[in-house]
Amino acid sequence: MSWTLTERKKRLLRARRLAVTAVCLPALLLALTGCSEDTVDSLKRLGLPVIATDQGSQIYELWVGSWIAAGLVGVFVWGLILYAAIRFRRRDDDEIPAQVRYNLPIEVLYTIAPLIIVAVLFFFTLETQNKVLETVEDPAHEVQVVGQQWSWTFSYLGEEAVGGQDVYDVGTPAQLPELWLVEGETVTFTLLSPDVIHSFWAPSFIMKLDVIPGRENSFSVTPTRAGEYAGRCAELCGWLHARMLFTVKVVDRAAFDAHLQDLRAAGQVGAPKGGEYTRTTVGKGEVTGE
């Protein structure tokens, strides 16, 4: 039986595909079975860090919902591509599929569908944003966060453990400052900067907020997991930006109170702001955020 040149090319192409599949599929299965437990947990969280606050769970739900929406859109688009490639493929050298200049239903679909998708995502994003940025009227703790080039100052305001005084934690790029929080108790952060824009970010909070000179930003969280978590500045703020790190310690109330008493004993009393521009607009002198 003699084969035409076209038939030989087709058979050769099929053989190559089978060979690639035979090599790649076992390698993929081996890679998946070799994943560590931490990698598997990270995949389950879709790449997000371990969530340490209740507000972080709301952002996680938005993140997962966005991935589901993206997956559905991807499956639909890939389905259309495969359908068109198979249904309207060129079957032989003589027959050419009908050429269509436009298709009104399809054009309406790919014009309206993206608008609907964007509107739905915008609605849920705005709803989640309002929830996570909402401050609690009477939080258990208030912490003033000052981001300055190139470290952080955390002031604990009016704490009962130190007789209603303000005490503060401070550090340097060489000796990282520590932010102490109580597990299960709500804290409101007030963010200030005396120099340039920084961004207060603890990845396990699953959110960050800019620290802007002349403006007070604030948000509330309730830590839900005891432990130590990394924090950093997420806004390029100068040549030592990469070293503008801090540590978040979520502890029980007894350990928290003992830490505040140690701060008072060390003379770290007050709530330093770092300069006048934490509350005034540079060049204008306008007081904002009060």
- Distance, in Å, from the CA atom of 210 to the CA atom of 198, rounded to the nearest integer, reads 6
In Å, how far are 55, 94, 207 from 120, measured between CA atoms?
21, 47, 21
Task: For 36-52, write each residue's pLDDT tens digit.
Answer: 565 555 666 666 777 88
pLDDT of residue 2: 47
pLDDT of residue 192: 92
Categorize the per-residue pLDDT at 290 as very low, low, confident or very high, splitting at 50, 70 and 90: very low
pLDDT of residue 288: 45
Task: For 137-161, write each residue's pLDDT tens digit.
Answer: 888 899 999 998 889 999 999 888 8
**Closest of 157, 166, 212 to residue 187, by C-alpha:** 157
What share of the chain in percent tops pLDDT 70?
Answer: 76
Residues 6+ apart with CB under 8 A from 180: 154, 156, 169, 249, 251, 256, 259, 260
Element (H, E) at 165: strand 165-170
pLDDT of residue 119: 93
∠ CA 242-177-150, nearest 5°, is 40
- pLDDT over threshold 90, residue 87: no
pLDDT of residue 252: 92
In Å, how far are 79, 190, 208, 227, 251 from 185, measured between CA atoms?
49, 16, 19, 14, 10
- Distance, in Å, from the CA atom of 120 to the CA atom of 101, rounded to the nearest integer, reads 32
pTM tops 0.75: no
Which tokens is 57 given? 């769970």
- Distance, in Å, from the CA atom of 144 to the CA atom of 273, rounded to the nearest integer, reads 8
Which tokens is 173 given? 């790029």
Categorize the per-residue pLDDT at 195 as very low, low, confident or very high, splitting at 50, 70 and 90: confident
- Domains of the chain listed by start with CATH number: 52-132 (1.10.287.90), 141-278 (2.60.40.420)
Task: For 245-258, write each residue's pLDDT tens digit.
Answer: 999 999 999 999 99
Categorize the per-residue pLDDT at 208 as very low, low, confident or very high, splitting at 50, 70 and 90: confident
